[in-house]
Amino acid sequence: MALGTGWIHIIDFDDENNIINKNVLLHQAGEIWHISASPADRGVLATCYNRTSDSKVLTCAAVWRMPKELESGSHESPDDSSSTAQTLELLCHLDNTAHGNMACVVWEPMGDGKKIISLADNHILLWDLQESSSQAVLASSASLEGKGQLKFTSGRWSPHHNCTQVATANDTTLRGWDTRSMSQIYCIENAHGQLVRDLDFNPNKQYYLASCGDDCKVKFWDTRNVTEPVKTLEEHSHWVWNVRYNHSHDQLVLTGSSDSRVILSNMVSISSEPFGHLVDDDDISDQEDHRSEEKSKEPLQDNVIATYEEHEDSVYAVDWSSADPWLFASLSYDGRLVINRVPRALKYHILL
């Protein structure tokens, strides 16, 4: 096998039998550093990968399609010894030769999956995919200005404001960008004491953004007032690599860290339902009583729900299932993938 070949594992979780099946896809372009799936087409994904050119290592990005039979998610796991890995079909390269090394690629969260932002060194690039995604045209771009070698580390596209805002991290700074003009709309300098690793937007509450970094902290921001965070979590003892809001119940927040732990937190006071599920007025016979009772209701308390210690190495990725809101996965440096569920008691507390 050629040096620098990458592999993608398509994981299929059989919920009824608690069995993980996998299919392996060959990524011939090189070693993969970042993967992001199209929200509009489950068979399409983008990768950032290393390529050697003139004895220099460059990080490039491309858009791929997986084989049709893997899109449906079959519960058939091929026998690893006998099956040969299938190959991803290259749709197009996101040509960044003029812009430097790619840090990550983020898809527009709504829409037809034709818009992508890539972060390359100090450039933020907006691409339009055309002709069945076989071509990527650079629509607009912007650059970080300032002293030193400024480099983006990560970014997230907001699902709010008609998908016109993107947040990025570089060094200890968070920035918001308007994708229509590629101009900066807010800047949070020294958001963390050390490098910012990851960001995520609250899916149900606009203006709310979570960040995490090498200062071992997770911070929650209201982007209308960026002087200080709304909340700070200090539960990890090493770099925090990932922060992820639950897609349906935004009080549930996952974090993964180099301390080998995954922490599930209940950030209910800054969620879209800080008082729990409110009862409809129609269900109350005496509305005055209801109003006075509601005023006296205190926001529910934030707490750590559970700490997961199945990993023996740094946890580099955590994410929620897009199909089941109570299911999440974590991945550590040693290649261990762990799938967990939100504790049943909490699930029913949220639902009932």
Mean pLDDT of the residues in the chain: 87
Fold match flag (1-72+86-143 vs 162-272+298-351)? yes
Task: Kindly tell me if the per-residue pLDDT of 289 is higher than 80.
Answer: no
Report the pLDDT averaged over residues 287-306.
65
Helix (H) or strand (E) holding 32: strand 32-37
Tokens describing residue 219: 């911070």
Each residue's pLDDT tens digit, 124-163: 999 999 988 899 999 999 999 877 778 999 999 999 999 9
- Listed by start position, the domains of the chain span 1-72+86-143, 162-272+298-351
By DSSP bridging, strand 165-170 and strand 173-178 are: antiparallel
Each residue's pLDDT tens digit, 184-205: 999 999 999 999 999 999 999 9
Cα dihedral across residues 91, 94, 97, 101: positive or negative: negative
pTM of the model: 0.88
Can you name the residues that pair with 23 across neighbouring β-strands?
A: 10
Query: Whose CA is closest to 244, among 325, 189, 152?
Result: 325
Report the helix count and the strand count for the chain, using DSSP H and E: 3, 26
Report the pLDDT averaged over residues 316-340.
94
Secondary structure letter of residue 260 according to DSSP: S
* pLDDT at res. 138: 95
Each residue's pLDDT tens digit, 19-29: 988 899 999 89
Each residue's pLDDT tens digit, 62-89: 999 999 887 765 545 545 444 567 899 9
* Band of residue 99 on the pLDDT scale cut at 50, 70, 90: confident
CB atoms within 10 A of CB 135: 14
Alpha-carbon gap, residue 300 to 272, rounded angstroms? 12
Query: Whose CA is closest to 256, among 190, 312, 193, 332?
Result: 332
CB atoms within 10 A of CB 61: 29
Task: Give the CATH class of 162-272+298-351.
Answer: mainly beta
What CATH number belongs to 1-72+86-143?
A: 2.130.10.10
* pLDDT at res. 2: 38
* pLDDT at res. 1: 29
